[in-house]
A = this chain, B = another copy of it.
Amino acid sequence: MPRTGRRPGYSDTREAILTAARQAFAERGYDKASIRQIATSAGVDPALVHHYFGAKEQLFLAAMEAPIDPGKAIEQVVAGGLDGIGERLVRTFVTVWDSPAGTPAAALVRSAVSHDWSARMLREFITTQILRRVIGNLELDPNEGPLRASLVASQLMGLIMARYIIKLEPLASAPPETIVATVAPTIQRYLSGPLDQ
């Protein structure tokens, strides 16, 4: 029974590592997530992780790459135009975050707070992948669009922090409908209301 060398039969090790990495990054953030623990959790030697993905940063990028693609969700939300967009956005948002798809996103947020280039990544991601599309599709006034969009981002990031990271009650356990009912008007006003009232 060899303890080293290639294993017999088909093997899905690469995906196993990615899955373990996503969960680790989501639960602990970039810095606290360790390659050694990711390897253990994938039933593998740490060196194998390095063999497949190279340095830790590249593993992080690989783990984030596939699962985060908000393109279709944004299109659906934005398709209906400004009317009722607050409700559609918040409902989609909470649905996604309450689902397993929220895991890698949580990883980005957790990492962004303590890690400099994770913060840069998140900023780039938010602006180029989300805000820009929203602004473009909604045809907002170019003078006000960016501010409106970043206000939306601030409320949604606060929702993430309160509900999923800090777990502030009663927000953390409130049913999705409560969140939608209370937060949607804020988003609606940030996008379509007068900015100073």
CB of B159 within 8 A of CB of A154, answer yes
- How many Å lie between the Cα of A182 and that of B150 in the bound state? 11
**Option from B32, B126, B182, B197 in Cβ contact (under 8 Å) with A195:** B182
CB of A154 within 8 A of CB of B168, answer yes
**Option from B110, B154, B174 in Cβ contact (under 8 Å) with A163:** B154
Q: Please report which residues of chain A, range 33-65, place their CB below 8 angstroms from some CB of chain B when the two chains form the complex.
A: none
A156 proximity list for chain B (CB < 8 A): 158
CB of B114 within 8 A of CB of A182, answer no
- How many Å lie between the Cα of A127 and that of B166 in the bound state? 11
CB of A154 within 8 A of CB of B161, answer yes
A73 at interface, CB cutoff 8 A: no
Q: Which residue of B lies closest to A109 (CB)?
A: B113
CB of B189 within 8 A of CB of A169, answer no
CB of A114 within 8 A of CB of B168, answer no
A9 at interface, CB cutoff 8 A: no
A185 at interface, CB cutoff 8 A: yes
A31 proximity list for chain B (CB < 8 A): 31-32, 114
Give the oligomeric copy count. 2
Q: Decide yes or no: A166 and B119 within 8 Å by CB, A114-B29, A155-B155 being known contacts.
A: yes
- Name the distance in Å between A84's Cβ and chain B's nearest Cβ: 13
A101 at interface, CB cutoff 8 A: no
A182 proximity list for chain B (CB < 8 A): 147, 151, 190, 195-196
A119 proximity list for chain B (CB < 8 A): 165-167
- How many Å lie between the Cα of A190 and that of B181 in the bound state? 11
Chain A window 89-116, contacts with chain B (Cβ cutoff 8 Å), 1 for yes, 0 for no: 0000000000000000000011011100
- How many Å lie between the Cα of A174 and that of B144 in the bound state? 12
CB of B112 within 8 A of CB of A151, answer no
Q: Which residue of B lies closest to A145 (CB)?
A: B170
CB of B171 within 8 A of CB of A151, answer yes
